[in-house]
Amino acid sequence: MLQAYVVESNVYDFAISIASQFHYLVNVFTVVAGAFWIAKDIRNRLRRQFFTINLQGKAMGAQKRILVTGGAGFLGAFLCERMVTEGHDVICLDNFFTSQKSNIVDLLEQPNFEFVRHDITHPIWLEVDEIYNLACPAAPGHYQFNPIKTLKTSVLGAINALGIAKRCHAKILQASTSEVYGDPEVHPQPESYRGSVNPVGPRACYDEGKRAAETLFMEYNRMNNVNVRIVRIFNTYGPRMHPYDGRVVSNFIGQAIRGEDITVFGDGNQTRSFCYRDDLVEGMVRMMNGPDDFIGPVNLGNAGEFTVLELAELVIEMTGSNSKIVHKALPADDPLRRQPDATLAEEKLGWKPIVSLREGLEKTIAWFQQIDWANYRPPTPNF
Ligand SMILES: NC(=O)c1ccc[n+]([C@@H]2O[C@H](COP(=O)([O-])OP(=O)(O)OC[C@H]3O[C@@H](n4cnc5c(N)ncnc54)[C@H](O)[C@@H]3O)[C@@H](O)[C@H]2O)c1
């Protein structure tokens, strides 16, 4: 009897000891699993807050939803490419008026890039954190093709883009232009210069449209606290300019490559400043990411001043072309001098163009030499 009791009590003690060890193990497991879960949660929260993994697997800055209107154009496509590479979620909106799908074809495969074929003169409902408003034909021949449409694109386009910014509390940057200074009497042009624009001339649809857009940006900021930015872009060139866009750099390079006469309007002593695409886009991005109390307008351009004749001679030399320079009548209201005073951009954004005209032309000419011109259609008959 006593023996049976001893055996029973040993079994009982043994069971108790197993149970208490199991309990101990469960406690340890719970603590370890809990700690692991908390660490994972903290990591995910930090990751959502501060990092995103881009397509190439690099950790990047905070991911944003970015809308680029006119995103298939010369500057827009390069900007989209940069934003996609930085890991942002990019919506490119365009109606392909002065561009074409080939500009963004490589981006279409990327999961953080979306294309919306839309005309910005009509309202659209999108959810974004930042907007770069670039939609507008930029070359005189094309913006003069349908001047009323150009005005609508600048004015209604700005209203529609600002409407999205207001509703989403998004930051919005306007791609304005040195053309707001018209044919300037002040040289070089600082942002404080109010310009000399002919409101009834053939360039007014663009110049006045862009001026009205600046006004809209300032009023949405004053009335509705929309977080705006305005950059005034001076003549910019680079690879992937539309070969038929009709601007001076693409015209001269195209004519030189084909061995045709190089057409200089007037005596060619009118001056221009030429900014390389990558420098310009860097300035735009710095402005967007800059302090909220600096909304512009700010000039973005290369202060180096060249006569149109000098540009023609440089292009002939660099392409090794036999082209001859011929002169044609200067178009109405063509500005005689254009040069940015870019000190404000340097002071506020630490921005300064770094690519020289020769270096930029080298890359641009190389791009024009390898494209198949048959793959491009002129946007309008005016190029
Ligand atoms: N490149 C320059 O030298 C320069 C100088 C000053 C200002 N800017 C401004 O920068 C912006 C981009 O210029 P760019 O050189 O890339 O010109 P671009 O013509 O190559 O690009 C403009 C883009 O806007 C699109 N677009 C035009 N109308 C539209 C509409 N109604 N709806 C939707 N999309 C429309 C075009 O299809 C094109 O893709 C423009 O707003 C231009 O005024 C450019």
Q: What are phi and psi of 303, to 5 degrees?
A: -75, -10
Dihedral (Cα; 368, 91, 98, 274), 10-degree rounding: -50
pLDDT higher than 50, residue 169: yes
The radius of gyration of the chain's CA atoms, rounded to the nearest angstrom, is 30
- Which residue's CA is minimally distant from atom 39 of ligand 1? 73
* Structure-token match 């094309």, residue found: 142
pLDDT of 5: 54
44 in a structural domain:
no
pLDDT higher than 70, residue 53: no
How many angstroms separate the CA atoms of 237 and 358, rounded? 12
- Name the 3-class secondary structure at 252: helix
The ligand 1 atom at the shortest distance from the C-alpha of residue 97 is 37
47 in a structural domain:
no
360 or 23: which leads in pLDDT: 360
CATH code where residue 331 lies: 3.40.50.720
pLDDT higher than 50, residue 232: yes
pLDDT tens digit sequence for 175-216:
999 999 998 999 999 999 999 999 999 999 999 999 999 999
302 or 40: which leads in pLDDT: 302
The ligand 1 atom at the shortest distance from the C-alpha of residue 379 is 37
Q: Ligand 1 in contact with 72 (CB < 6 A)?
A: yes
Q: Ligand 1 in contact with 290 (CB < 6 A)?
A: no
Mean pLDDT throughout 232-251? 94
- Which residue's CA is minimally distant from atom 38 of ligand 1? 73
Lowest mean pLDDT among 45-49, 127-131, 161-165, 353-357: 45-49
CA of 94 to the centre of ligand 1 (A): 10
**CA nearest neighbour of 205 among 171, 179, 242, 174:** 179
Mean pLDDT throughout 336-348? 93
How many angstroms separate the CA atoms of 46 and 43, rounded? 5
Write b or e for each residue in 266-288: b if 16 or more Cβ atoms lie within 10 A of its Cβ, otherwise e. eebebbbbbbbbbbbbbbbbbbb
pLDDT higher than 70, residue 361: yes
Beta bridge partners of 299: 232
Task: Tell how strand 305-307 and strand 271-273 pair up.
Answer: antiparallel
Where are the extended beta strands (E) located within 18-139?
Answer: 52-53, 59-60, 65-69, 89-94, 113-117, 130-133
Mean pLDDT throughout 18-27? 71
- Number of structural domains the chain divides into: 1
349 in a structural domain:
yes
42 in a structural domain:
no
163 in a structural domain:
yes
Is residue 61 very low, low, confident or very high in pLDDT (cuts 50, 70, 90)?
low
Catalytic hit among 132, 206, 220, 244 = 206
Active site residue 24: no
164 or 22: which leads in pLDDT: 164
pLDDT higher than 80, residue 52: no
pLDDT tens digit sequence for 268-284:
999 999 999 999 999 99
Q: Ligand 1 in contact with 97 (CB < 6 A)?
A: yes
Where are the extended beta strands (E) located within 32-95?
Answer: 52-53, 59-60, 65-69, 89-94
32 in a structural domain:
no
- Which residue's CA is minimally distant from atom 32 of ligand 1? 119
> CB of 179 within 8 A of CB of 207?
yes
205 in a structural domain:
yes
Q: Is 77 exposed, middle or buried (0-12, 13-18, 19+ CB in 10 A)?
A: buried
pLDDT of 50: 47
Q: Is 225 exposed, middle or buried (0-12, 13-18, 19+ CB in 10 A)?
A: exposed
38 in a structural domain:
no
* Domain coverage including residue 367: 64-375
Q: Which residues contact 329 (CB under 8 A, 6 or more apart)?
A: 265, 266
How many angstroms separate the CA atoms of 154 and 26, rounded? 68
pLDDT higher than 70, residue 46: no
Q: For the chain, what is the mean pLDDT?
A: 90
The ligand 1 atom at the shortest distance from the C-alpha of residue 152 is 31
Q: Ligand 1 in contact with 75 (CB < 6 A)?
A: yes
**CA nearest neighbour of 379 among 93, 140, 129:** 140
pLDDT higher than 90, residue 332: no
- Look up the pTM and report it: 0.84
